[in-house]
Structure 1
Amino acid sequence: MKDTQIPESEQSKELFAYFGLAVYYCQALEQQLTNLLLLSKLSQGQTLSEADLAELYQRKLSNSLGQLIKEIQHHFPFSEEETRQLQSVWKQRNHIVHDYFKERIQQTFTPAGRAQMIRELKRFKNKARRLEVKLQSYSTDMYIKLGIEEESIMK
């Protein structure tokens, strides 16, 4: 019976680790979207003081993933596929954060249920990570085009 005890099971620890990674990569996406928004404003010739840039950066970091996705679509030329991927990750992120364990609580008590949940969370984590890496490359390209050190915008 020990394997069905959630806190003590190694499989349970793995399940919660993948949940954490799923949330982590969503936050990494939020960071990249924030970076892209600021870089887009700078690339349009907007000159912002260091204080204004820092204030805008903090304000954008407090936006939700959905708010950032809606705003970035007005400033960055994502392909239709990239837009679809962003919206899909946003929808899945909301489900994982708000409803996932409520809907699957019974599965957490069985090895087969936990294994299924781990596979789902792993797939989502990989999907979010690939998208985050893609956005990171767009940010890096914009830093280079603008001649900005990446660290200078995130002070």
Structure 2
Amino acid sequence: MEHQTYQDAIAEYELKESEQSLLLYAHYGRAIYMGQALEQQTINMLAIDDIVKNKPESQDTYEAIWAKYDHSKKMVGIMTALLQEAYHISDVDMEELREVLAWRNNLAHRYFRFNDVLFASHGGRKRMIKDFVDFANSIRAVEEKLSVYIAAYNRGAGLSTESIAKLLAERKEEWKDKVIDDTYDSTVKYN
């Protein structure tokens, strides 16, 4: 995703009033999506670390490792502590990741409840867009930092770009023939 400034977002926003709400929701959706993608990236990092350390010998063991993280009830604090240990992430960078994940939770669960009054005015909606753009830019900054830790981890674990791609391709392969229609159950089932 391209880097966007608040000024760019507001230039888009200065449309007809009927289109402003749609654009605000688009910025909100992008922010939530980026937050979810970052959270999934941390889950993938933990699962890959588990796979590297435990070298599963069966497909069932391999799938159990992914399920352990995909359907975990572990709190973000525990997950980030495991991530910091496995990837040797500095305290400063880890705190930034935790703050961004907390911000994601706020956007997903509380933002509109506590900022609904902003939605009622033109200036308030512009402020909301600023919040969403700022969040997206924070995500990008954290992702850039994580990429350095991931590269160092991969070198230390002897993982190549190809082997990581293979691990993730195997994961995607499990989903390739899934039928996603009205009968598909998308609810999360915790073990």
Q: Please give the range of the TM-score, normalised by the shorter of the 2 chains.
A: 0.7 to 0.9
Higher relative contact order (CA 8 A, sep 6+): 1
Residue 17 of structure 1 pairs with residue 30 of structure 2: no
Equivalent position SS for 2:39? helix
Residue 126 of structure 1 pairs with residue 134 of structure 2: no
Task: Tell whether the 8 Å contact from 2:51 to 2:62 is kept in structure 1 after alignment.
Answer: no
1:108, distance to aligned residue in structure 2 (A): 0.8
* Identity between Structure 1 and Structure 2 (%): 27
1:56, distance to aligned residue in structure 2 (A): 1.4
Task: Tell whether the 8 Å contact from 1:32 to 1:135 is kept in structure 2 after alignment.
Answer: no
Q: What corresponds to 2:37 in structure 1?
A: 28
Which whole-Å CA distance do the structure 2 matches of 1:18 and 1:85 have between them?
22
Which whole-Å CA distance do the structure 2 matches of 1:93 and 1:130 have between them?
14
5+ unaligned residues in a row in structure 2: which ranges? 1-16, 172-191
Q: What corresponds to 1:56 in structure 2?
A: 65
Which whole-Å CA distance do the structure 2 matches of 1:34 and 1:17 have between them?
26
Deviates more, 1:30-39 or 1:55-64: 55-64
Deviates more, 1:98-107 or 1:49-58: 49-58
Q: Which amino acid aligns with 1:32?
A: Q
Residue 47 of structure 1 pairs with residue 60 of structure 2: no
1:127, distance to aligned residue in structure 2 (A): 0.4
Task: Tell whether the 8 Å contact from 2:100 to 2:139 is kept in structure 1 after alignment.
Answer: yes
What are the Cα deviations for residues 55-92 of structure 1, in whole angstroms up to 9, with x where unaligned?
21133123477153233133221012211101111221
Task: Give 1:3-152 correspondences, 5 Å limit.
Answer: 9-44=18-53, 46-49=54-57, 50-63=59-72, 66=76, 67-140=78-151, 142-143=153-154, 145-147=158-160, 149-152=163-166
Which whole-Å CA distance do the structure 1 matches of 2:44 and 2:128 have between them?
32
Change (3 A) 1:134 1:65: farther
Q: What corresponds to 2:6 in structure 1?
A: none
Q: What corresponds to 1:5 in structure 2?
A: none
Task: Tell whether the 8 Å contact from 1:39 to 1:142 is kept in structure 2 after alignment.
Answer: no
Task: Tell whether the 8 Å contact from 1:36 to 1:138 is kept in structure 2 after alignment.
Answer: no
Which whole-Å CA distance do the structure 2 matches of 1:151 and 1:65 have between them?
27
Task: Tell whether the 8 Å contact from 1:143 to 1:149 is kept in structure 2 after alignment.
Answer: no
